[in-house]
Structure 1
Amino acid sequence: MDESTAKPKVAVHKFSSCDGCQLAFLDMGEDLLTLSAMVDIVHFAEAGMLDENTPVDVAFVEGSLNTRHDLERIQAIRKNSRFLVTIGACATAGGLQALRNFTDADAWHSAVYATPEYLDSLTTASPIRSAVHVDLELWGCPVNTRQVTAAVRALLSGVTPAAEQDKVCMECKRRQAVCVMVAHGTPCMGPVTRTGCGALCPSFERGCYACYGPAENPNTDALSHWFEGLGLLPEQLREQYHGINSQAEPFTAAGNRYRK
């Protein structure tokens, strides 16, 4: 095929994660066929394509960095990619793995493994942006198909993808969902979390878990005051912020105020 007519190349890479964000691709259904007509997916282990080191136009990366080998891999991926896009909470904010950043990881290793010196683990679990330049971050646990499709179309068209900035509270208003904090006294991270899920949990009378990361200008001080009024203890307040997106700076700082 002539180089001028060749389809753009796309790769999907996995680091420490549950694979849920990669499934956002596979869950596209017929849209995946449309995507494959637009691009050439050269590496995607979940779908069977294996060519990790080929240069690509867009590299999607799921998962956090936890080993020295991870650091070497992500540097190579960055070098071989025109655009690097992180997908999901693990890649953008460390994910659940980053909860170990608040503990003594070496003590855990010694307690679990007979010879911990053979482990390649870093002292912390880190988001991808801590090691390389990231062109676009897609937040969510997991990301949704709409985000992935829109990102591919925008990047390949030379357009900056539009980022979700509304808070989950705004989505609740649009869905005419009753506020779980006001009506039921249920702790909810919706006032400081960006939308993307369609306010799924509040729609079923559950508090938001902050899956889509901090919204624009999150007022964590005001939300913490609300939580205190609901009777949450300091440890419970910390757990609200130090969850799926614990390494997102506004959440890290807010949770640290309640650490012993």
Structure 2
Amino acid sequence: MAKAPGKPKLAVWKFASCDGCQLSLLDCEDELLAVAGAVEIAYFPEATRGVLKGPYDVSLVEGSVTTPHDLERLKDVRRQSRSLITIGACATAGGIQALRNFKDVKEFTNIVYAHPEYISTLEKSTPIGAHVEVDYELRGCPINKHQLLEVLTAYLHGRKPNIPSHSVCMECKLRGTVCVLVRGAAACLGPVTHAGCGAICPAYNRGCYGCFGPKETPNPQSLSPRLADRGLDERALQRVYRTFNATAEAFQKESERHDA
């Protein structure tokens, strides 16, 4: 098929991650056909072996920076990209692998690897925005495919993405789910977590785990006493904020307040 002239070039890049957010793009199925018709997929190893050289109009970046090589490659990606959008908890907040940031990574490598001297890694797992300018951050573990399509559409048409900034609590209200905190069913991070998942966990009588990271002005220090009322001690309060978005600023500061 002949290349359509003037199509924007899209690149999808992977750093330290599980590939789940890239799979969210592939999971768009029918909508992906529309995306493929609107852009030229220039670099996306998860989907195709075909590679076109930059520069790229839009780059989607998944994963965190964990090695010196990652850092150099990221700088090159930024140089080639007109717009750089980070997707997922790893890219926006360091991911689950950022739990290493609270310990000595050398101790981990000495325990896990027979020859730790062969391992070249940074002391911390850091988000993309800690190293280069980011044009937009799309949160989630994994991201919401509908939000991803909205962000892509917005950037292709030169407008601001229409992504809700409210908390998971609003999603519970919209789907008619009774608050698990009010019922005393579970500890829940819904009041401080960015919407996007559709409040799946509370709908199944589970507390929110904070997969989409802190919402705007989250105020977790006001939530923690409520969680303590549900039986969480200092250690448990620390751990509840240290999951997928452990080094997101609001969650990290609150977890550090509960250092045992």
TM-score, normalization by structure 1: 0.96
Cα distance, 1:160 vs structure 2: 1.7
Task: Assess if the C-alpha contact under 8 Å between 1:53 and 1:76 holds in 2.
Answer: no
C-alpha offsets along residues 53-101 of structure 1, whole Å, 9 cap, x if unaligned? 5211000000111000000110000000000000000000011100010
Identity of counterpart residues, as a percentage?
A: 48
Determine if the alignment matches structure 1 residue 83 to structure 2 residue 83: yes
What is the SS of the residue equivalent to 2:258?
Answer: coil
Task: Assess if the C-alpha contact under 8 Å between 1:42 and 1:49 holds in 2.
Answer: no
The equivalences for 1:96-135 within 5 A come to: 96-135=96-135
Alignment correspondent of 2:22 = 22
> How many residue pairs are counted as aligned between the two chains?
260
Distance in structure 2 (CA, Å) of the matches to 1:32 and 1:49? 17
Moved beyond 4 Å, runs of 4+ = none
Task: Assess if the C-alpha contact under 8 Å between 2:16 and 2:65 holds in 1.
Answer: yes
Distance in structure 2 (CA, Å) of the matches to 1:197 and 1:74? 28
Task: Assess if the C-alpha contact under 8 Å between 1:93 and 1:248 holds in 2.
Answer: yes
Distance in structure 1 (CA, Å) of the matches to 2:166 and 2:87? 19
Task: Assess if the C-alpha contact under 8 Å between 2:147 and 2:163 holds in 1.
Answer: no
Alignment correspondent of 2:222 = 222
Cα distance, 1:171 vs structure 2: 1.1
Query: Which letter maps to 2:43?
Result: H
C-alpha offsets along residues 175-221 of structure 1, whole Å, 9 cap, x if unaligned? 11011111134100000001101111101111001111111111211
Task: Assess if the C-alpha contact under 8 Å between 1:168 and 1:190 holds in 2.
Answer: yes
Task: Assess if the C-alpha contact under 8 Å between 1:53 and 1:77 holds in 2.
Answer: no
C-alpha offsets along residues 129-176 of structure 1, whole Å, 9 cap, x if unaligned? 011000000000101211111111111111121332111111111111
Alignment correspondent of 1:136 = 136
Cα distance, 1:114 vs structure 2: 3.1
Alignment correspondent of 1:70 = 70
The equivalences for 1:153-192 within 5 A come to: 153-192=153-192
Alignment correspondent of 2:235 = 235
The equivalences for 1:50-69 within 5 A come to: 50-51=50-51, 54-69=54-69
C-alpha offsets along residues 18-73 of structure 1, whole Å, 9 cap, x if unaligned? 11100111111111111101000011111023437521100000011100000011
TM-score, normalization by structure 2: 0.96
Distance in structure 2 (CA, Å) of the matches to 1:245 and 1:238? 13
Alignment correspondent of 1:213 = 213
Determine if the alignment matches structure 1 residue 149 to structure 2 residue 149: yes
Query: Which letter maps to 1:87?
Result: I
Task: Assess if the C-alpha contact under 8 Å between 2:42 and 2:53 holds in 1.
Answer: no
What is the SS of the residue equivalent to 1:45?
Answer: coil
Distance in structure 2 (CA, Å) of the matches to 1:77 and 1:164? 28
Alignment RMSD (CA, Å): 1.8
Determine if the alignment matches structure 1 residue 199 to structure 2 residue 207: no
Alignment correspondent of 2:246 = 246
Distance in structure 2 (CA, Å) of the matches to 1:221 and 1:112? 36
Query: Which letter maps to 2:208?
Result: C
Query: Which letter maps to 1:231?
Result: G
Distance in structure 2 (CA, Å) of the matches to 1:52 and 1:41? 8
Q: For residues 244 and 52 of structure 1, do their structure 2 counterparts lie closer, same or farther at Cα, with a shift above 3 Å needed? A: farther
Task: Assess if the C-alpha contact under 8 Å between 1:13 and 1:61 holds in 2.
Answer: yes
Alignment correspondent of 2:40 = 40
Cα distance, 1:4 vs structure 2: 10
